[in-house]
Amino acid sequence: MSDTFHEQSVKASRKVRRCDWCGELIQIGQPYKSYRWRDGSDGGTVVMHPECREAMHRTSREEGGWLDWEQGENHRGKSWGEAGQT
């Protein structure tokens, strides 16, 4: 079972980051959301554009709560159900 903790919203990034949802860059000065996760001995930090974080939440609801994706395989700000509508 995976645990999520230390969620944060940052108004302005101090460095360039890559969104784990869409793979696009989060530029200096842009907002982002992040959280840490742990699953047994594995763990990490997920960083996303605010709209990508919302898309991940929508997808989680659509999929029944569990998601597994690779960095950049999703469309910016779109859930899996919305991605086919582009």
Tens digit of pLDDT for each residue in 6-47? Answer: 899 999 999 999 999 999 999 999 999 999 988 888 889 999
Do the domain assignments include residue 81? Answer: no
Do the domain assignments include residue 15? Answer: yes
Query: What pLDDT, on the 0 to 100 scale, is given for residue 36?
Result: 92
Quote the domain boundaries for residue 61: 3-65
pLDDT digits (tens, 9 = 90+) for 74-83: 999 999 988 7
Supply the DSSP symbol for 69.
Answer: -
Assign residue 26 the CATH number of its domain. Answer: 3.30.60
Query: What pLDDT, on the 0 to 100 scale, is given for residue 4?
Result: 74
Do the domain assignments include residue 83? Answer: no
pLDDT digits (tens, 9 = 90+) for 45-62: 999 999 999 999 999 999
Per-residue confidence band for 68, with pLDDT thresholds at 50, 70 and 90:
confident
CA dihedral 61, 80, 40, 49 (to 10 degrees): -100
Query: What pLDDT, on the 0 to 100 scale, is given for residue 84?
Result: 64
Do the domain assignments include residue 29? Answer: yes
Instruction: Give the strand pairing for 25-26 and 32-39.
Output: unpaired
Enumerate residues 6+ apart whose C-beta is below 8 A from 41: none
Do the domain assignments include residue 57? Answer: yes
Query: What pLDDT, on the 0 to 100 scale, is given for residue 86?
Result: 41
Do the domain assignments include residue 49? Answer: yes
State how many domains the chain has. 1
The runs of H, that is alpha helices, within 1-86 are: 50-63, 80-83
Do the domain assignments include residue 79? Answer: no
Do the domain assignments include residue 72? Answer: no
